[in-house]
Amino acid sequence: MQPKVRKAVFPAAGLGTRFLPATKAQPKEMLPLVDKPLIQYGVEEAVHSGVQNIIIVTGRGKSAIEDHFDVSFELENLLESRGKKDLLAAVRGVSDLIDVCYVRQKEALGLGHAVLRARELVGPEPFAVVLSDDVIDAETPCLRQLLDIYEFFNAPVIAVMEVPPERASAYGIVDAEPITHNGARDRLFRIRDMVEKPRPEDAPSNLAIIGRYVLTPEIFDSLAAIDPGRGGEIQLTDGLKHLLRRRPIYAYRFEGSRYDAGDKLGFLMATVEFALRRRDLGAEFREYLQSLHLDGGQ
Interaction site with ligand G1P (CB under 6 A): 111, 131, 133-134, 171-172, 196, 208-211, 235-237
Nearer to ligand G1P, 134 or 275 (CB): 134
SS3 content of the chain, % helix, strand, coil (to 5): 40, 25, 35
How far is it, in rounded angstroms, from Cα 71 to Cα 28?
Answer: 21
Beta bridge partners of 129: 9, 213
Nearer to ligand G1P, 33 or 79 (CB): 33
Q: Least distance (Å) from ligand G1P to the CB of residue 260?
A: 7
Residues in Cβ contact with 215 at an 8 Å cutoff, skipping those fewer than 6 apart: 115, 126, 127, 128, 129, 156
Nearer to ligand G1P, 27 or 172 (CB): 172
Nearer to ligand G1P, 116 or 209 (CB): 209
Nearer to ligand G1P, 29 or 134 (CB): 134
Residues in Cβ contact with 169 at an 8 Å cutoff, skipping those fewer than 6 apart: 197, 198, 199, 200, 203
How far is it, in rounded angstroms, from Cα 20 to Cα 198?
Answer: 25
Q: Least distance (Å) from ligand G1P to the CB of residue 170?
A: 7
How far is it, in rounded angstroms, from Cα 139 to Cα 125?
Answer: 27
Q: Least distance (Å) from ligand G1P to the CB of residue 11?
A: 8
Q: Least distance (Å) from ligand G1P to the CB of residue 149?
A: 18
Q: Least distance (Å) from ligand G1P to the CB of residue 222?
A: 15
C-beta nearest to ligand G1P: residue:
172
Name the region of 261 (left: φ>0; alpha: ψ -120 to 50; beta: rest). alpha
